Structure 1
Amino acid sequence: MANYKIGVLNGDGIGQEITKATVEVVKAATKLVGSTQFEFIQLPMGWEAIEKYGEPMPQIVKDTLAETHGWILGPHDSSSYPKEHKLKRNPSGELRHYFDLYANVRPAKTITGINGVVKEADLVIFRENTEGYYPDRNMFVGEGEWKITPDVVISAGVFTRKAIERIAHSAFQMAEKRRKKVTIVHKANVIKLGSGLFLDVCREVAQNYPDVKIDDYHIDAMTAHLVRRAKDFDVIVTENMFGDILSDLAGELVGSLGLAPSINNNENMAMAQAAHGSAPDIAGKNIANPMGIMLSTVMLLDWLSSRHEEPRLSEISHMVESGILNVINDGIKTKDLGGSASTTEFTEAIIERIQLKDRFER
């Protein structure tokens, strides 16, 4: 029997509810597959970790995560942390930086039963995760920002061939498995050196994938194209800040940012993380929608399946995803989607669909 250690960091706000729901549906699917077992390791993060260790992302947690096969990261409410912690990287940024999780992979796909702004979208955004214009990640030491006078601030954007090459390869490898098209998003017409390097290196990497078509757009034009013709795009690759903006837009276009999944990964480890925040205003009310973190975990299971060449993991991920989509198609939805199901009821409905599939097949 294959055994996998999965870290579970509930986080803040609705994190306790949605990560618990996610673990429950994965366990339900795992029981039906057999020959695979997960050890879910509960670890503190955010306020829970501050109260226990004095840090929102303590070293002991990172050391434990290093011994897992991957982990599920709930949302954090870093804006509410004590002042001394606001000066540091937030928990998700710290994990991305510490483990060099350079690829943030964010799909956006039309879902039957969800009333999105656009129709027929099926795209994946590859966001470079370690440098660019995000100062908490682009320096070996230091923040990457300088306050010259009370009225003057300089923020540095960092672009390196190494980082661009590896995110580009990840994007093109995904495109080979999909519709064989990559769109490079940049601002090389104005940021000639930094964004220009990103564009040039992506084009160089493209030569290794002759079956994949490429095009490119400036970030401002790309936002308009995404709204007008999202269905035309397959794989999009871009730098950190542009990727953050585009993926949030894409998530809203297909239904809601609250549904948007993602994983952060390198070659050897991956972290499932929904794109949404901790929603402290609805925490503890049993009305949060767990779809984002559930679909992120589906992505994690697929990544683990590929990484460890274990098809049973892909089977589990497929069962979870199918359960979610079937429940939505049945009209069972949480309040944010116009339904009346609680978090618990939504989760139980997914588990019932998973078990129903098993009864039907047997």
Structure 2
Amino acid sequence: MADNYRLGVLAGDGIGPEIVPAAVQVLDAAVAAAGGAAIEWVPLPVGAEAIETHGSALPPITLETLEQLDGWLLGPHDSASYPEEHRVQLNPSGFLRKQFDLFANIRPAKAFEGTPALVPGLDLVVVRENTEGFYADRSTYRGTGEYMPTADVAIAMGIFTRPAIERIARQAFELAMRRRKHLTVVHKANVLRLTTGFFRDICREIAVEYPDVRVDDFHIDAMTVHLVRHGADFDVLVTENMFGDILSDLAGELAGSLGIAPSVNASADHAMAQAAHGSAPDIAGRNLANPTAMIASGAMLLDWLGNRRDDPVARQAAVLVEQGLRTTVVRGIRTADLGGTAGTSEFASAVADGLR
């Protein structure tokens, strides 16, 4: 590659130690096929294992090292199973999003040819604002946006600010310009007029800067129906934190499986590749997990690095990963969630071998 990249490897919990190495294997093969220099991978402690070895799910050594890296892969976490004193803290992914101001969560949903997608032809991207909205764990500088003034009253705040909305809107419009030039703003302005109405209106203001993009908007509840009925009609969706989380999970399943739903969390300076799904502890250690989402998330990280540094080799490696995944699935090598019999390691090796 034009640059030598140092990327963190945070395997995480559950199926993380299976799917993250699978992603590393495929990314290495793609970079080699593109003619690039080898990636330097930097393993770092996170999650339950880090609690045992360092007393924290995100120890200082991990955070300090991430500051020096070009990006990182984060496996899923199973924070619900952590000891109580760790369970009440921000989970690892939420903490990292807040710590590094990873304000843009980009979540594609694209059906694979020949797989049982609920919406064949689905090919959209959910652009999720990642730092405020209705997610109480990251919407305030200190503390959270939830509190209980009495034992019988619980209150949650939704935070919406112009700077945060403007920057996520521009991210979404820039992405729409590279795709099919159609942007859909998702909100609930008929009820939440001052908050999600604010979000919708600012997105409409930014639209003036992108006259080539067709813009429409829908209420969140109607949007779920539209995705199920004719999801293939949509291109880029932009919305606040919680709505984006829900819609991207729905879109991933409509595309065929959450196991193929990737994402990247990015700021201007840092990016974190992270599959959209959870840690699946029920199948952990059994070589059953679909590593596609983690592999594709790694490809998104390479693409982000390539765009940020104007590195065509990194961008080409990302394209090769996407092509390799789809070619492998078309060949009939699939994990159980896509109707196949391949295990995690078998699928990853097939993708990597095809790239070589």
Q: State the alpha-carbon separation in 1 of the partners of residues 220 and 34 from structure 2.
A: 44
Report the equivalent of 1:92. 93
Comparing 154-163 with 139-148, greater Cα deviation is found at: 139-148
1:350: how far off?
A: 1.0
Structure 1 runs (4+) greater than 6 angstroms displaced: none
Assess if the C-alpha contact under 8 Å between 1:36 and 1:312 holds in 2: no
The alignment status of 1:270 with 2:271, answered yes or no, reads yes
**Greater RCO (Cα-Cα under 8 Å, separation 6 or more):** 2
Shift of 1:86: 1.4
Distance 1:236 1:18 in 2: 27
Deviation at 1:187, TM superposition (A): 0.6
Q: 3-state SS of the aligned residue for 1:105?
A: strand
Question: Structure 1: how far apart are the matches of 2:294 and 2:340?
Answer: 19
- Partner of 1:25, secondary structure, is helix
Q: Which letter maps to 1:142?
A: G
Aligned residues of 1:161 and 1:201 also touching (Cα < 8 A): yes
Q: CA RMSD in A?
A: 1.0
Give the secondary structure class of the aligned counterpart of 1:36: coil
Distance between the aligned counterparts of 1:199 and 1:338, measured in 2?
A: 40
- The answer for the alignment partner of 1:214 in structure 2 is 215
Q: In 1, Cα distance between the equivalents of 2:216 and 2:31?
A: 41
The worse-fitting range, judged by mean Cα deviation, of 140-149 and 12-21 is 140-149
CA distance in 2 between partners of 1:352 and 1:97 (Å): 37
Alignment match, 1:22: 23
Which secondary structure state, in structure 2, belongs to the residue aligned with residue 281 of structure 1? coil
Identical-pair percentage? 56
Q: What secondary structure does 2:5 align onto?
A: strand
Matched to 2:43, the amino acid is Q
Give a deviation string over 1:175-228, Cα, whole Å, max 9, x none.
111111110000111111111111111111111111111111111111111111
Residue 50 of structure 1 aligns to a residue whose secondary structure is helix
Contact 2:72–2:272 (CA<8 Å) still a contact in 1? yes
* Structure-2 separation of matches of 1:220 and 1:145: 24
Q: How many residue pairs end up in the alignment?
A: 355
CA contact (8 A) 2:185 2:218 kept: yes
In the TM superposition, residue 31 of structure 1 has moved relative to its aligned partner by 2.3
Contact 1:181–1:213 under 8 Å retained in 2: yes
Match for 2:182: what amino acid? Answer: K
1:32-47 alignment to 2 at 5 Å? 32-47=33-48
Check whether the contact 2:70–2:270 (CA below 8 A) recurs between aligned residues.
yes
User: Does structure 2 retain, via aligned residues, the 8 Å contact 1:132–1:241?
Assistant: yes
How far off its partner does 1:148 sit? 2.0
**Equivalent residue, structure 2, for 1:10:** 11
Shift in Å at residue 2 of structure 1? 2.4
Structure 1: how far apart are the matches of 2:107 and 2:313? 23
* 1:291-302 paired onto structure 2 within 5 Å: 291-302=292-303
One-letter amino acid matched to 2:287 = N
Contact 2:36–2:314 (8 Å) recurs in 1? no
Secondary structure (helix, strand or coil) at the match of 2:39 reads strand
User: What is the deviation of 1:36?
Assistant: 2.4
The residue that corresponds to 1:153 in the other structure is 154
**What are the within-5 Å matches in structure 2 for residues 125-274 of structure 1?**
125-274=126-275
Whole-Å Cα distance in 2 between the matches of residues 30 and 263 of structure 1? Answer: 19
User: Could you state the TM-score of these two structures normalised by the residue count of structure 1?
Assistant: 0.96
Q: Does structure 1 conserve the Cα–Cα contact (< 8 Å) formed by 2:128 and 2:244?
A: yes
Gaps of 5+ in 2: none
- Tell me how far 1:113 sits from its aligned partner: 2.3
Q: Distance in 1 between matches of 2:158 and 2:36?
A: 47
In 2: Cα distance, 1:26 partner to 1:238 partner: 30
> Could you tell me whether the CA contact under 8 Å between 1:7 and 1:70 is conserved in 2?
yes
2:62 corresponds to: 61
Q: What is the correspondence of 1:336-351 to structure 2 with a 5 Å cutoff?
A: 336-351=337-352
Structure 1, gaps ≥5 residues long: 356-362
Task: Write the distance in 2 (CA, Å) between the matches of 1:181 and 1:343.
Answer: 35
Matching residue of 1:358 = none
Distance in 2 of aligned mates of 1:35 and 1:135: 42
The worse-fitting range, judged by mean Cα deviation, of 342-351 and 83-92 is 342-351
Q: What corresponds to 1:123 in structure 2?
A: 124
- Report SS of the residue matched to 1:3: coil
Tell me by how many angstroms 1:122 deviates.
1.1
Amino acid at match of 2:142: V
1:195 and 1:342 map into 2 onto residues whose CA distance is 43
